[in-house]
Structure 1
Amino acid sequence: MPIRIRHRLLYTALLGSTAVYAQDYHLPEVQVRGPRDAAIGSADSASEGAAERESFQSRPKLRPGDIVEAVPGVVATQHSGDGKANQYFLRGFNLDHGTDFAVTVDGMPVNMPTHGHGQGYADLNFLIPELVSGVRYRKGPYFAESGDFSLAGSASLDYFGVLDAPFAEVTLGGHGFKRLLAAGSRTVQDQTWLGAIEVEGNNGPWDVPEHLKKVNAVLRYSQGSPTRGFSITGMAYKSSWTSTDQVPERAIDSGELRRFGSLNPTDGGKTQRISLSGKWFDKSADGDTQISAYAIDYRFDLFSDFTYFLNNPVNGDQFEQTDRRRVFGAQASRSMVNKIGGLDGLLSFGAQWRGDRIGEVGLYQTEARQRLSTVRNDKVTQDLFSVYGQQLLNFSERWRGYVGVRGDMLRYDVQGREPVYGPVNSGKGHDAIASPKAGLAFTVTPAHELYLNAGVGFHSNDVRGAAITLDPQSGLPADRVPALVKGRGAEIGWRFQPNENLTVTAALWQLKLDSELVYVGDAGSTEPGRASSRRGFEATLRWKIDRAWRLEADAALSRARFRGLAPEGEGNYVDNAVERVFAAGLTYIDGPWTTSLRLRYLGPRALDTTNTVRSRSTTLLNFGTRYAVNKNLTLGLDVFNLAGKKGNDIEYYYASCTAGEVVSGACNGGVDDRHVHPMEPRTARVSARWTF
């Protein structure tokens, strides 16, 4: 196949937001397939790819957000209730709830800027994992179509356009877990309707039952062929829960608190998300075009208590964070083959707009979910306008490369409604940034390929921080932060692929940020911090051993440090920055059996900037199996934390004060300690699926 044609087909079938994925639109005779993984001759870096569907669908998932662990090096944990966004780790980052890790579902962004709980908040609890047809990923700021929050990486989750057959599934598990899922599609000529509904409840292992109540629904209409068509999708999600947040380890060690106990039984929250989106695509010999738009209505209330009685010895330190917003967006992209100086190439370009209309983003002091005072109550409008272009050229049979540039402009308007500090913390502004990108690939042999990538990216800050004048907690002057913060990254990579059954990749990377976003325990949010530098090494193995067995293994090592002279009393370690991640999975698919065994290791990391206090490592082993009794009935068993390890999903180090310490006079301005949220004990779930 000529290089020009080969690249056009691979680009339009595999990589990037300018590419168009024919998710089996919608003809019965089209085999249901996901996106192909990156391959020699088509990949632009060693750290991009697409997870194999059999792998991410067969692996057991304790929570919907666990599906992002299909991205090599990503760890998803939880430090609160199951209605709250996961905690993510990748490439030397504690990504909090999504900062610097951009996630999209069916083309819609999940990350929320200027969010009530933290910048870039990415809640995937509305996801129905069984509907996910593909997980595509990229790491690093090397690609022009990657925008806000994608400095460490990005994951694109696609939904099916058509299902093999309608089904209903019931799942029951320990600690009161109950789930019902029904989904199906119907195709007439080139028109397809797809629908799914999910109902879930869970108490969890916690001494204070979680009382999770969740309802989720998807409805999609698609029309067209694999080369031209459109789809309209509606989603609706609502949940409420009581959460057990992280607790001081000293309370567990002393026996004051059980391992799964809570210091505030009224913590928890509720959230809902309703969206409508549409896509139109056209794939032709001249090029590929895609246009999409979306509208999201989002509501969020969260009650948290991380310091207990440190700041308010009488009423306690519980606070409420709220977010009421509507999100609108549109994007258009085009990719087309071209020639420059006689060289075959591929030109990709596009434009994007996202508008957040935040009716309320607030912070309130509360006791038992009753408001005591208002810290902040803001109305915010912000728009991000983006354009990008990228040109790939084939210099020879062995050399190819690309250059690209992205431009982003953010406009914002903050209107403070808290009567004391709201007016002085209001303001309008704008910021803009240009992000050049480049990459080079060299095919050493048909089985070996080398890559060099570099680029500039960015993350946005909470625009309330860009307009602030006085700290609403203390009334003291506050420093404003830039609305957009630049990051610079580079990577050297290698891919070994002797055949379609074996792929090995390795990458050496580095990333420098002008401002680190740091988790603040007593506010439950992120704040801008010092400039930082990261570097690391990653390796992956994907091996289809034979017809039935598949092996996956990932390793990620990283080093994260603040740059410059450390302030007095501080060091240069980036606290809670992940240092070592190892993961492995073994999958068996043959006849009626599908079985998966997954191992994940998260190594120790510095919990303070001086590296005086370090977290403990955690090792998690999950097992899942499915047996097709006949063409209609499939039985399943998932066992989470198979080895029964007593690790922690998250550890932080900061000062807090319990009620007992207040009474005894032991508080003295706060007790510095580890604060932990234990990972769940060994838990089993059984399921039965009836296919119609």
Structure 2
Amino acid sequence: MLVLCAVGALEEAPISPPVPVEVAAPVTPGDAPVLQDTATVVLRLTIDEVGAVSRVEVRESAGAVFDRAAMGAAVRWKFEPARRSGVPLEVQVDVPVHFAPMRAREAVAETPHGATGTTPAPPVMTELAVDDSTSSGASSEEEKAASRSSSPGFSTTVRGVAEAPPPVAVGDFHIEVGQLADVPRNSASDLMLLAPGVMLANHGGEGHAETVFIRGFDAGEGKDVEMRLNGVPLNEVSHAHGHGYADTYFIIPELVDSLRVTEGPYDASQGDFGVAGTVEYQLGLARRGLTASASYGSFASRRLALVWGPPESSEATFVGLLLRQGEGFGPNRSFANATAMAQVELRLGDDTRLRLLGASYGARFASAGVVRETDVVDARLPCAADADSQFFCFYDENQGGASQRHLVSAELQSRLKRGGRLVQQGYVVLRQTRIRDNFTGFIQDTPPGEDAQRGDGTEGYYRGSTLGLRGRYTPGLTLLGQSRPLELGYVARYDDVRTRSRRLRDSGGAPYSTLFDNQVRTTNLGGYASLRVQPLDWLALRVGVRLDTFLFGVEDLNRPAVDRDGPRIPEESLDAYGFFASPRASAEVKLSPRLTWLTSAGLGARSSDAAALSDAELAPYARVASGETGLGWRLEGASRPYSLEARGAVFATRVSQDFVFDERLGRNQPIGASQRLGAFATGRLQWEDWLDTQASVAGARATLPAPGASAWKLWDGAVMPYIPALLGRVDASVRGHVTVAGERLGWNVALGHSAVGPRPLPLNRYSDPVFLFDVGTRARWDWMELGVSVENVLDARWRETELNYVSNFRGPDAPASLLATRHFSAGAPRTFRGTFTLYLDFEEDAP
């Protein structure tokens, strides 16, 4: 198991706080209440890399009048940006603004520069607090004491990288990876486990997209979860392996700064495939310089990672290279892949930034597929007869795949004169995959004449080009106490893809028949609007609506050469159109300064798979209606060395058209409406740079309602197969330092634990529960670091995927049994990995 070294370096350079340049005193309205004592509003400011205040939030209120006065002034303040090693970065600062009782007819407000300005005789006098201390550790205690006794200054408490905007639901998680990057993980996909109620499974090998279970959905490889990377969509329309296929294996884990997991369709910016939710990866490299990491582990696995952040640039500029290769933990599981990713941020003046991102990826992998449990028990597989050899064996060596991806994105961010924001992005994605599976052996083929059965192997081929534009505009308004309350956005995406599925011979793997072969062109045009207001001190409301249109053009290249009217060209064209409007809303009630009650509701949709369309059809959508209510609690503050956050909610979801895996075709097929009722709870504790731990538990019941049943009976109906009812996850990392022989050594210990409850299978069967533990430890001296990680510490024999159906793997002449039996793909056994990392800085010496 690899150790994420670059993101979680044991030492970080201190942050120098932002320095105020223009800070005008607030002006309170004439009808403000008369104060008998000082009133204080604590603002949390997000200050970006150019020193502008991009967001203002009230952390401690002194009443609506004073809150609005403080916020109205804060959005106009300007700063020298915060810096780490001389590089500007976005940070968050807490600013107390004091309103004192009026002692004169005219108030004089002191600015950080010592200049004075007069305000027209309001009933109160305003002044800014005096405290230049910061959490960066740059000032000594004497210097801090001196600053407190000097003339009025500006109070800042640097909080690192800025927090995300307020969540749209309790299940909207803006996850800073931070110290939890120390927990052993196989790929960037595993970072999704930081959100509650998420499980990953993979039957196809290292390079095949993960099957995602989230919020009670079997989201397949992307059909029910929208995936994005820095705004670029990753879901692939009408993919041969499954509509919405989204492979995140190409993302370099060391370059993932944060991810946002929005469970449920509650944000107006969520688009196609956002049925169960949306996952967006954000890239960034906090550490400057070159980090080189080499790993070697069990089953001849090798890994080389190089990431570089130029010292004179921001965290948004980086280059990364990742090479992986191995024989796999059993026969027919070898893999090899390579990824290169680079991003540069250019400043086009004081108010505009341009980010250019490029990525290139290639992979090839073998797959053991699934095996029948009865064949494993009876030792019938073509491996040694011992239990372990049979458990990790396979049937068909012609399983596996290959994948390529090339991506380019340009994003322009502009700060407008009146405080507004404008973001425009364009992207191009080139994609190709070929995936070979065999789930049933020898029962699907119907050979001509008296020929023998040729085998049920399938090959899904996909080649696509995606061009897109997206943007959002936030006017610089203040409405009902909320700064920048309105967001407008649009999307425009065009896909030109060739998608094909064929049957393969068991002997040699040559194709012998075509299941479908389509040339698909899809245009998606959409727009959304979202408004957030705070009419009362304790109440915030968000409403939004999204409109999406789809135009499908399909060339069916697999039509018969002869029909009942005679010979014909074996091709056919069809076109279809679809339109969908999806409103979303949420209400946030502040029960106390730390406790919030948030209720959200929304509609979402999944577009149609082109293979299921007919000509001139008003393209059907899978419609989803979802609601959620729950509590969020957060404890933090400049005086505390720790922060603690906890959330919990209950949710209900109904989908008009769901999908379940069909082993005969090797892909998901429609089964009608479905519904879910569930709940989750999660908490995270961070204690300075020493401890970071997070735990979550989630449960959901997914059912197929009986025809005509009430939509309110969300618990009734047949249980949907393969979806676990209970999931738990713990991630923890502890860091520290020791002195050995006069040398300072950094150390780290990390743990990851997943618990998966029994999964329902067809015909009233259930899988066994799964309990997995992963541990990792590192030690660093100066610029060198050694790490060891162990995956599946207890060496459990667990089944990563479990299915239940009829198959025949004994051969083409064996009689096929009509009795369904359990099939599974084996999970990885205990796996060791050692990592050696070099941290090489190439910063110029100070003069």
Give TM-score, length-normalised by structure 2.
0.74
1:9 aligns with 2:156: no
Shift of 1:2: 8.1
Residue 601 in structure 1 maps to residue 601 in structure 2: no
Amino acid at match of 1:626: R
Match of 2:828 in 1: 680
1:619 alignment partner in structure 2: 771
TM-aligned CA deviation for residue 545 of structure 1 = 4.9
Give the letter aligned to residue 211 of structure 1: S
User: Does structure 1 residue 492 correspond to structure 2 residue 644?
Assistant: no
User: Conserved in 2, the CA contact under 8 Å of 1:657 and 1:671?
Assistant: no
| Pair 1:618–1:32, CA change in 2 (3 A) | farther
Question: Deviations for 1:489-540, whole angstroms, at most 9, x for unmatched residues?
Answer: 0000101113261111011101100011221112221222210110101100
Q: Which residue in 2 is equivalent to 1:513?
A: 655
> Hey, what does 2:19 align to over in structure 1?
none
The amino acid that maps onto 2:394 is: S
Cα distance in 1 between the residues matched to 2:685 and 2:819: 49
Matching residue's letter, 2:749 = T
Q: Is the 8 A contact 2:498 2:520 kept in 1?
A: yes
Deviation at 1:361, TM superposition (A): 3.5
Percent identity of equivalent pairs: 22
> Which residue number corresponds to residue 434 of structure 2?
301
Distance change (3 Å), C-alpha of 1:176 and 1:161: closer
Q: Does 1:124 align with 2:243?
A: no
Pick one of 674, 681, 685 that aligns with 1:539. 681
Query: Of the candidates 622, 631, 644, which is equivalent to residue 502 of structure 1?
Result: 644
* Map of 1:376 onto structure 2: 516
| Aligned partners of 1:463 and 1:483 also within 8 Å | no
Gaps of 5+ in 1: 12-22, 470-479
Q: Say whether 1:321 aligns with 2:445.
A: no
> Given residue 462 of structure 2, which amino acid in structure 1 is its aligned partner?
D
* Aligned residue type for 1:177: S
Other-structure match for 1:272: 404
The amino acid of 2:335's aligned partner reads L
- Other-structure match for 2:789: 638
| Per-residue Cα deviation, 1:5-42 (whole angstroms, up to 9, x for no partner) | 8896169xxxxxxxxxxx99999433588865569xx3
Structure 2: gaps (5+ residues): 1-40, 47-52, 58-80, 92-159, 382-389, 446-451, 562-568, 638-642, 710-715, 738-745, 841-847
Q: Which amino acid aligns with 2:88?
A: V
**Alpha-carbon separation, structure 2, partners of 1:37 and 1:341:** 22
TM-score (norm 1): 0.90
- Counterpart-to-counterpart distance in 2, 1:207 and 1:190: 45
Q: Is the 8 A contact 1:36 1:50 kept in 2?
A: no
User: In 2, distance between residues paired with 1:163 and 1:528?
Assistant: 47
The residue number in structure 2 matching 1:439 is 586
Aligned counterparts of 2:423 and 2:667: Cα–Cα separation in 1:
36
Distance in 2, matches of 1:653 and 1:489, equals 30
Contact 1:553-1:584 at 8 Å conserved across structures: yes
CA shift for structure 1 position 265: 0.9
Match of 2:726 in 1: 580
Q: Does 1:75 align with 2:214?
A: no
What is the distance in 2 between the residues matched to 1:317 and 1:426?
29
Q: Secondary structure at the match of 1:531?
A: strand
The answer (yes or no) to whether the contact 1:112–1:121 under 8 Å persists in 2 is yes
Q: Which residue of 2 aligns with 1:402?
A: 542
Greater shift after overlay, 572-581 or 117-126?
572-581
Quick check: 1:30 aligned with 2:88? yes
CA distances 1:344-373 after superposition (whole Å, capped 9, x unpaired): 660011000111100343434444331112
Question: Using a 3 Å threshold, how does the CA distance of structure 1 residues 85 and 96 change in structure 2: closer, same or farther?
Answer: same
Residue of structure 1 aligned with 2:604, choices 457, 461, 476: 457
Inter-partner Cα distance in structure 1 for 2:439 and 2:278: 29
Cα distance in structure 2, aligned partners of 1:643 and 1:226: 55
Cα distance in 1, alignment partners of residues 798 and 411 from structure 2: 43
After TM superposition, give the deviation of residue 629 of structure 1 in Å.
2.2
Q: Distance in 1 between matches of 2:42 and 2:199?
A: 40
- What secondary structure is seen at the aligned counterpart in 1 of 2:785? strand
* Corresponding residue of 2:8: none
| Equivalence for 2:112 | none
2-side partners of 1:546 and 1:163: how far apart?
Answer: 18
Match of 1:16 in 2: none
Q: Secondary structure at the match of 1:166?
A: strand
- Kept after mapping to 2: 8 A contact 1:162/1:194: no
Alpha-carbon distance between aligned partners in 1 of 2:161 and 2:572, rounded to the nearest angstrom? 47
Is 1:177 the counterpart of 2:304? The answer is: no
Change (3 A) 1:95 1:192: closer
Alpha-carbon RMSD across the aligned residues, in angstroms, is 2.8
How far apart are residue 189 of structure 1 and its match?
A: 7.1
Structure 1 residue 183: Cα displacement: 1.6
Matched length: 660
Change over 3 Å in CA distance of 1:557–1:457 after alignment to 2: same
Of 413, 426, 429, the match for 2:553 = 413
Measure how far apart 1:263 and its partner are. 0.6
Q: Any conservation in 2 of the 1:26–1:187 contact (CA below 8 Å)?
A: no
CA 1:604 to 1:380, structure 2 compared with 1: closer, same or farther past 3 Å? same
Judge conservation of contact 2:705–2:717 (CA < 8 Å) in 1. Answer: no
Residue 660 of structure 2 contacts residue 669 of structure 2 at CA under 8 Å; is this kept in 1?
yes
Other-structure match for 1:230: 354
Return the alpha-carbon distance in structure 1 between the equivalents of residues 465 and 203 of structure 2.
27
Whole-angstrom distance in 2 between the partners of 1:538 and 1:233:
35
Cα distance, 1:226–1:576 mapped onto 2, change above 3 Å: farther
Structure 1 residues 406-446: Cα deviation after superposition (integer angstroms, max 9, x where no partner): 00001101101124189576410010100001100000001
Secondary structure in structure 1 of the residue aligned to 2:485 = strand
Counterpart-to-counterpart distance in 2, 1:382 and 1:116: 15
Match of 1:14 in 2: none
Q: Deviations over 1:647-680 (max 9, x none)?
A: 11111111111125x5453x14x44111111110
Name the CA distance, whole Å, in 2 between partners of 1:342 and 1:427. 52
Secondary structure of 1:638's match?
A: strand
* TM-aligned CA deviation for residue 337 of structure 1: 4.4
- 2:334 corresponds to which letter in structure 1? H
Indicate the SS of the match to 1:130. Answer: helix
1:413, 1:130 → 2: CA distance? Answer: 40
Name the stretch that deviates more: 242-251 or 491-500.
491-500
